[in-house]
Structure 1
């Protein structure tokens, strides 16, 4: 009897999550927020739901501290979930904390086996490797040519 009630509760939470995701993708952040709040009420142990709730608190209400706390909670619950790191980085960006967003994505890469979505998000933020010779300008011909060579070698080794 108890497991049937729990299964029904989980199913309702999943429906609320899916509805919230649909509203989120359609940029109806207020409606999505309500759905994710309901989903978290029904299932407080789902890190992905908590992470999206955090993102929507930032998008709909601009409450960045609360949003960061929710996203951090989700990351602590499931440290290998790519979407949790992406949502945390998005919250940081909305709060104007680009360096924290870069750090969140970089930490996420360590725990998610260098997931391509995190790498893509870092590139989108314009994160670059340091120049080969930091005492020369980035546009110096040695830095440009050796940087290209470094890039090719890293690609061949599968590190990029």
Structure 2
């Protein structure tokens, strides 16, 4: 019977999360994890804890644990990527999200990657990205539609 209760709580949490009610989702995910600590429960609990309570390190830890236990589920990578973005770690978030897309095509990860975007390499490779020549040359080429 505990399996049914944990799954029901998880389902309710997912419904609340899809409606944007992360606080209610967090409560349901906590109840689900109390009964059964499945990787997907932990992953979503980590995401909601980071989002609602600011427990970023806890969220990262739970998502990494989920990935270690169940590496074939793209949702774990999505949740970890979202948390890393919250923490301001865009480079690592992009890396994790791309790993998730490599595991399985995931529409939400795809949208997130498109939203974040990625920077193009510097126009002149041996000069740094912050070099004034690279900056202005890049802007000029972009305006001309050549980049």
The answer, yes or no, to whether TM exceeds 0.5 is yes
Q: Give the structure 2 partner of residue 152 of structure 1.
A: none
User: Contact 2:75–2:100 at 8 Å: present in 1 too?
Assistant: no
**Paired residues of 2:77 and 2:97 also in contact (CA < 8 A):** yes
Q: For 2:78 and 2:57, how far apart are their aligned partners in 1? A: 17
1:96 aligned to which of 88, 99, 107: 88
The CA RMSD over aligned residues, in Å, is 2.5
Q: Name the TM-score, length of structure 2 as normaliser.
A: 0.77
Deviation at 1:20, TM superposition (A): 1.1
Aligned to 2:25: 32
Indicate the residue corresponding to 1:73 in structure 2: 65
Alignment match of 2:97 (pick from 93, 99, 105):
105
Q: In structure 2, list runs of 5 or more residues that go unmatched.
A: 127-133
TM-score under structure 1 normalisation?
0.72
**Structure 1: any 5+ residue segments left out of the alignment?**
1-7, 148-160
SS at match of 2:84: helix
1:140 corresponding residue in structure 2:
141
CA–CA distance in structure 1, aligned partners of residues 67 and 25 of structure 2? 21
